[in-house]
Amino acid sequence: MDRFRYSNATIEDLLVDLKDYFPAQVSIDNWKSSWLESPSLNVFESVWDPSNVSQSATLKLYQYPFSSDYNTLRWHKFQVAFFDENASIVDEKTVLVSPTTNLTQITYDGTNEVKAIFVNYNDEDFLENYIDSQSLQFFLANIDMIKDDLTRSLIWFNLSQLNKQTLMRLDDYVSFIVEKLFDEPQIYVINQLLTDLFVYLSSFLVE
pLDDT in tens, 64-89: 999 889 999 999 999 999 999 999 99
What is the residue-averaged pLDDT of the chain?
Answer: 93
pLDDT at position 144, please? 96
Residue 201: what pLDDT?
Answer: 80
Q: Are residues 67 and 144 in the same domain?
A: yes
Sign of the torsion angle spanned by Cα atoms 166, 169, 173, 176: negative
Tens of pLDDT, residue by residue over 117-141, are 999 999 999 999 999 999 999 999 9
- Higher-confidence residue: 4 or 118? 118
Q: Are residues 16 and 83 in the same domain?
A: no
55: left (phi over 0), alpha (psi -120 to 50) or beta: alpha
Its domain, for residue 16, covers 1-37
User: 110 and 199 share a domain?
Assistant: yes
Q: Tell me: do 22 and 52 sit in the same domain.
A: no
pLDDT over 80 (residue 2): yes
Q: What is the pLDDT of residues 138-177, one digit of tens each?
A: 999 999 999 999 999 999 999 999 998 889 988 899 999 9
Strand-pairing partners, residue 125, are none
Asked whether residue 4 falls in the same domain as residue 86, the answer is: no
Residue 101: CATH number of its domain: 2.60.40.1840
| pLDDT for the residue 207 | 55
Do 29 and 16 form a contact (C-beta atoms < 8 A)? no
At residue 134, what is the residue type? Answer: Q
Q: How confident is the model at residue 47 (pLDDT cuts 50, 70, 90)?
A: very high
- Where does residue 79 rank: exposed (0-12), middle (13-18), buried (19+ CB within 10 A)? middle
Q: Do 44 and 141 belong to one domain?
A: yes
Same domain, 142 and 196: yes
Task: Let me know whether 125 and 29 are in one domain.
Answer: no
Strand positions, DSSP E, the chain: 42-48, 57-65, 76-83, 89-97, 103-108, 116-121, 128-130
- What does the pLDDT read at residue 175? 93
Question: CB under 8 Å to 147, separation ≥6 — which residues?
Answer: 87, 88
The vertex-136 CA angle with 134 and 141, nearest 5°, equals 100
* pLDDT for residue 204 is more than 80: no
Exposed, middle or buried, 124 (CB in 10 Å: 0-12/13-18/19+)? exposed
State whether 101 and 77 are in the same domain.
yes
Same-domain pairing of 27 and 43: no
**pLDDT attached to residue 8:** 93
CA 196/CA 20 separation, integer angstroms: 40
Task: Compute the distance between CA of residue 121 and CA of residue 118 in angstroms, rounded to an integer.
Answer: 6
Question: Strands across the sheet with 116-121, in order?
Answer: 89-97, 76-83, 116-121
Based on the fold, state whether residues 6 and 51 are members of the same structural domain.
no
24 and 91 share a domain? no
The count of structural domains within the chain is 2
